[in-house]
Amino acid sequence: MDVRDLSLAPKYIEHFETQGIESLYPPQEAAVEAGITRGERVVAAMPTASGKTLVAQLAMLSADGPALYVVPLRALATEKYDTFAELPDVSVGIATGDYDADDESLDEHDIIVATSEKVDSAIRNGANWVEAIACVVVDEVHLLNAHGRGPTLEITLAKLRRLVPDQQLVALSATVGNAAEIADWLDAELVRSTWRPIDLRTGVYDDGEVTFDDGTTLSIVPGDEPPTTALVADTIDDGGQALVFVNSRREAETLAQSLGVHGFRQAPDVAAEIGTGATTSTGQALAEAADGGVAFHHAGLRPEHRSIVERAFRERDLAVLCATPTLAAGVNVPARRVIVRDHERFTGDGYEPLPILEVHQMFGRAGRPGLDPYGEAMLVATGVDADALCEQYIGTEPERVESKLDSREALRTHVLATLAGGFAGDRAELDALLASTFFAHQRDAAELTDLVDEVLSYLDATGMIRRDDGLVATDLGRLVSRVYVDPLTGAAVVEALGTAATMDRVTTLTVLEIVCDTEDMSTQYVRTEEAGRLSEFAMRNADQFTKPVHDFEGNFQSWLATVKTARLLDDWIAGVGLPELDERYGVAPGDIRRLAERAEWLLSATEVIAEHLLTGPTPGIGAGQDSETEYEPVLERLRETRQALLDAADD
Ligand code: ADP
């Protein structure tokens, strides 16, 4: 089917044609036949690079009103935003940043790109654009499987369905085994395809040879080099590019460094572009590797560097990218050869094999249509049995997508949000909402009963809900839900604010400690050699902390991670530069920015909670008449610190 045959406005047809899209790929055609342009609900399970974005665009452009495109990751949001913004006369909005903002202006757009957290937050805040949405597209719906993010997505989809029952839904998925189950849950038709725009062979490298699934082999003799280097060099000699997946940022950097010296390609311009303003060791290492046509790509990179690297690789100025698995999840950076060097990942408890789905998504990045004659992807068997590796990953079916809603963390947050948002006013209504989730579809909502009981008791005990007449969120509960923090964070903040309100000295460090000591903050790892210094620092500044440093109850070592994070942010506010911070704390620049952003968000949430404590008595904390005199200085310090973080980010 040609794009011209679609009942689309000519300007859109022209737009697609100028992009080289003239006829539909077979799975796209199947999606059209299933009714994506007629408002039908469809789940499209197709391989990486088989053109899911066009499927989404066709649905959104044919919809009878504004469309919402839900992405799992912020990095993907920007990429999709850029793609949709090129559509003629289409206004696109993006919502990924503030967790609690009630972006009224979003209702002016034809397409809104948002993370599932942002949609969840908009629903909690009663944003008016949500109910106007005629078509929702969910990208990477198989991430229903993910801890944390998955439950948010399924609850959000259940709520959207409740709010706008006749809304069109198009869900895009990797080719997972139980896509039919997802489609069934969503009352959608399933379009399932394994078609790819370019041939792909996958295999395992072992002892000088890659054995592919199509029976072919490739002989690679590494000489003195590690096999990965030989595999990279081989495809570059042949005119291709290579994408190597490793399991940690450090490995990505080290590998890029060692490959960079081979000078596969001269890319002085890219190096110079990165080098300008690259003041940190990460930036300098990146510039150095780029000079030899190699780069690394991981979540610790600054966003500017990330986009330079992605662009330069697409334009073939770079020959090799050494990446952590984050790159596999959707960023469109294909290469002729994909080498999965590490197939295990450190989880904190030890090494675990990568999920099949993840490896297949890495494989899916192999082959650039129009540029490469084929794609080839391989695992490297070093120190493991090649046959076992082959059996596990080659030609196998990915894991089933399984709901992760039966978790205390997920239910704590979503039960509160469901009550606070008016989706349920008693237990029966709460159970009814839970019965419409993917979990209930797959298993049985009754399995959640004990956890829900436990969560309700917790929310009651912390003053976030009342259970006297049905189930009602209190003012505090509604606030906690609206500012989008975990109820544990809400409770911790209420308690810490209460302590701070009695302290003589409330400083930037005090309020940073409050927000860093919460469930929603990702605190930093404390190296052994740091622990002593940090604990000394804590002792010296004991009067500024809400926790009794000299008389600590609980895990002091883990609280030191809070101190480290608070101190690092305090330094950043005071003007200490990224390279210096990297040196002092061993935290990469990209991470510092992320921490600062998170702290800024948590400070604003804490501010809202502090204002609430200031103005009214709250059950369980006994803030009384003279609360004003106590909370005012804390509130002021919160505002100042947040502003200082924003200023530091601008510098
Ligand atoms: P996916 O999201 O499935 O991984 P994308 O939607 O990013 O894949 O598409 C991969 C590439 O294929 C893009 O560069 C896109 O422009 C191109 N493409 C998609 N559909 C077609 C088509 N029908 N004809 C030619 N190119 C296409």
Global pTM exceeds 0.95: no
Mean pLDDT, rounded, for 234-244: 95
Residues 6 or more apart whose Cβ sits within 8 Å of residue 252? 246, 296, 297, 298, 322, 323, 324
Q: What's the mean pLDDT in 175-180? A: 91
pLDDT band at 31 (very low <50, low <70, confident <90, very high): very high
Categorize the per-residue pLDDT at 299 as very low, low, confident or very high, splitting at 50, 70 and 90. confident
**Which class would CATH give 3-192?**
alpha beta
pLDDT at 14: 97
Give the pLDDT of residue 329: 67
Take atom 2 of ligand 1 and give the residue whose Cα is closest. 52
Fold designation for 483-650: Sec63 N-terminal domain-like fold (1.10.3380)
How remote is the CA of residue 365 from the centroid of ligand 1, in Å? 12
Quick one: average pLDDT of 73-98?
87
Three state DSSP letters for 142-179: HHHHCCCHHHHHHHHHHHHHHHCCCCEEEEEECCCCCH
Q: Per residue in 576-604, pLDDT tens?
A: 998 899 899 999 888 898 899 999 999 99
Nearest Cα to Cα of residue 487 among 500, 499, 474, 498 = 474
The CATH class of 200-393 is: alpha beta
Mean pLDDT of the 452-467 span: 97
Say how many C-beta atoms besides its own lie within 10 A of residue 510's C-beta.
24
C-alpha distances (whole Å) from 117 to each of 9, 59, 73, 420, 593 are 33, 23, 10, 16, 20
Strand order in the sheet with 375-380: 217-219, 209-212, 200-206, 375-380, 337-340, 242-245, 320-323, 294-297
Q: Could you tell me where the DSSP H helices lie in 322-472?
A: 356-363, 386-393, 408-420, 427-434, 438-442, 449-461
- Centre of ligand 1 from the C-alpha of residue 337, in Å: 19
Q: Is the pLDDT of residue 536 over 90?
A: yes
In one-letter notation, the amino acid at residue 245 is: F
Q: How far, in whole angstroms, is CA 573 from its chain's centroid? A: 26
Ligand 1 neighbour 590 (Cβ under 6 A): no
21, 22, 12, 135: which is closest to 69 by C-alpha? 135
Query: Which residues are part of a known binding site for ATP?
Result: 28
Chain mean pLDDT for the chain: 91
Q: From 16, 54, 84, 193, give the residue whose CB has the most ligand 1 atoms within 8 Å, as the site to mutate.
A: 54
Mutate to test the pocket of ligand 1, among 4, 53, 327 (most ligand atoms within 8 A of CB): 53
Residue 620 has pLDDT above 50, yes or no: no
The answer to whether residues 205 and 193 touch, using CB atoms and an 8 Å cutoff, is: no
Which of the four pLDDT bands, split at 50, 70 and 90, describes residue 330? low
The mean per-residue pLDDT over the stretch 422-434 comes to 97
Indicate the residue type of 29.
Answer: E
**370 C-alpha to ligand 1 centroid (Å):** 11
Look at 102 and 128; give whichever has higher pLDDT: 128
- The pLDDT confidence band at residue 277, using thresholds 50, 70 and 90, is low
